[in-house]
Amino acid sequence: MFRFEGIDGRSIETEGLSAEKILEKLRIQKGAIAVKLNGKNLDLAAIPQEGGLIQSITAESAEGLNILRHSTAHLMAQAVENLFPGARFGIGPSIEDGFYYDMDVPEKISEEDLPKIENEMRKLSKQAIPVERVEMSKAKAIDLFRERNDRYKVELIEEIEDDQVSLYKQGNYLDLCRGPHVKNTSWIRHFKLLSVAGAYWRGNENNVMLTRIYGTSFPDPESLDQYLTRIEEARKRDHRKIGKELDLFSIQPEGPGFPFFHPKGMVVLNELIDFWRKAHVKAGYSEIKTPLILDRSLWIRSGHWDHYRENMYFTEIDANTYAIKPMNCPGGILVYKSQIRSYRDLPLRMAELGMVHRHEKSGVLHGLMRVRCFTQDDAHIYCTPDQVTEEIIGIINLSRYIYESVFGFDYHVELSTRPENAMGDIEMWNKAEASLEDALKRSGIEYRLNPGDGAFYGPKIDFHLKDCIGRTWQCGTCQLDFQMPERFDMNYVGRDGELHRPVMLHRTILGSLERFFGILIEHFAGAFPCWIAPVQVKILPVTEKAFNYCEELNSLLRSSDFRTDIDLRDEKLGKKIRDAQIEKIPYMVIIGDKEMENGTLSIRERSKGDLGTMSIDAFLETLEKEYDPMKD
């Protein structure tokens, strides 16, 4: 007999019952899609071989949603196998917001095929096909999939260290999987296939290209509808689409992953940079600039040669190997080491808008969000051990000001700890992680733990911004580093006249200017706040007689440092207004005979519409009242 206890304190003693029956006896079965027994997830049909704490996993929970989505990936694979005989399957995991499955199909699958696959999935769902777990020896499983001519599953099974493996069977479909899964296919009803892409097997560009189908699944139709609405809104806000419409930037075939910024895009970037510089001067930072190309020996010393070489670009100068920098920190360290530092110099806050290059595979490039060349708003802080916590708090406060007060973003914070490829000893890592955690707690900021996701040289705090349609973007980061000061023999002269190691903090707030620009485009749907808009005021003459008056007004506004433009086209006023709205111009000034006669302006605001008639002085006052962080 085994004793099972629910989280509400109820308990029973039984043996040989399925996990589902145990939940029923404990009266906690409502909404269960799977169970958790002593921290391990099991199918509802599983017969526990031990007692302990048992909990229901509902489809609404994060774990339950992953189970539902992974089960939907299996249902999709079964539908594909029915429709495209001879299809073979790679991996099909659940991911954030959905799932995908990589497959090798005998004929090309396009997005036009997705409705057909969805219909087959619905047929299979209505049949309530049982989903059964099958355990067998590794050798037998290899033989089974060889008989099915499925080399991808054979390859995966051969890498499994255990002698036993688990498979899942639903009708004629069989898949290698750890589980758990839903009880039968009728539990999968609210799904949508979203797109088709190519993906190399195991992510290796030297392997065969497979077909990847993306989809999503939810426990109820309302959640699915909300998600699809959000996806449609995201399509409308796609920064690549808006960037082209507003003539902000482009990606040219001659430079894949290397963005070209057009005049209006440069206005946005320069406004961002000007604000960034002002905010950092106020926060006590000085600015440096380090070379784009540095000798191979530097990257060996920093550890990038061993830990990051596959993402770097190289060149040869005078028969010596140089690297185009993927990160700014080694160059910043050389600036620190260029002179003797005293404890009186610390904390030393050095900021750099440094352009870096990283080799990204072509399949992951995505507009401004994933590029091969970008400008990091880096800063490196060198401080004494007893200054660490206060410096981290300062970084948190500056980040909060920029995210909340300036751009109005919601965000959450994650603390990422020691990864598998970490440099240095565990004691130093524990000390670093404790310092970050202490700073977060003293700042009163809530955070999530992200185990094993730190940088190879130190743990980090990451800021994830939430945009207006609920998506999250990882932007700012603060990394505490005890390793680089050791590797580069960095010192400062302490109060005792002896040499001591400084602590190094790496941090970004915007992350990269390019990616942050892309996030702003999508967050605001191209309707930038007035202070950062490429054109703040569009002047619209009604007739040709108003051209001179408009030119005078344009000169006056520009002399007051506002970015203006005049629409001198021979078009009707209605079209000029519509075009200015499409261009997301914050303010439109309409000048006709009446306005010239009275010395007034007719004003429209892009979201509020007609603001009525104003004097020139009143309009200037209106513009001055627009929020501008440069005036803070």
Catalytic residue among 304, 357, 380, 418: 380
Quick check: is 380 catalytic? yes
Nearest to 461 by CA among 435, 485, 442, 422: 435
Catalytic residue among 55, 78, 170, 376: 376
Q: What whole-number distance in Å separates Cα of residue 95 and Cα of residue 561? A: 47
Nearest to 453 by CA among 464, 440, 467: 464
Quick check: is 460 catalytic? yes
Calculate the alpha carbon distances from 49 to 1, 16, 52, 443 in Å. 10, 8, 10, 46
Quick check: is 506 catalytic? yes
Q: What whole-number distance in Å separates Cα of residue 599 and Cα of residue 362? A: 57
Nearest to 368 by CA among 465, 245, 238, 527: 238
Six token digits for residue 149: 């001519």
Six token digits for residue 616: 């020139």
**Could you give phi then psi for residue 295, rounded to 5 degrees?**
-65, 150
Catalytic residue among 55, 177, 304, 329: 329
Q: ω before 347 within 30° of 0 (cis)?
A: yes
Six token digits for residue 116: 């057909």
Quick check: is 376 catalytic? yes
Q: Are 196 and 110 in contact (CB under 8 A)?
A: yes
The C-alpha angle 227, 216, 30, rounded to 5 degrees, equals 85
Q: Is residue 162 classed exposed, middle or buried when 0-12, 13-18 and 19+ CB atoms within 10 A define those classes?
A: exposed
Catalytic residue among 506, 515, 523, 576: 506
Catalytic residue among 358, 507, 515, 523: 358
Catalytic residue among 43, 378, 462, 567: 378
CB atoms within 10 A of CB 143: 13
Q: What whole-number distance in Å separates Cα of residue 259 and Cα of residue 369? A: 10
Six token digits for residue 43: 């199918």
Helix (H) or strand (E) holding 410: strand 410-416
Nearest to 325 by CA among 360, 374, 286: 374
Q: What whole-number distance in Å separates Cα of residue 267 and Cα of residue 220? A: 45
The catalytic site residues sit at 329, 358, 376, 378, 380, 460, 506
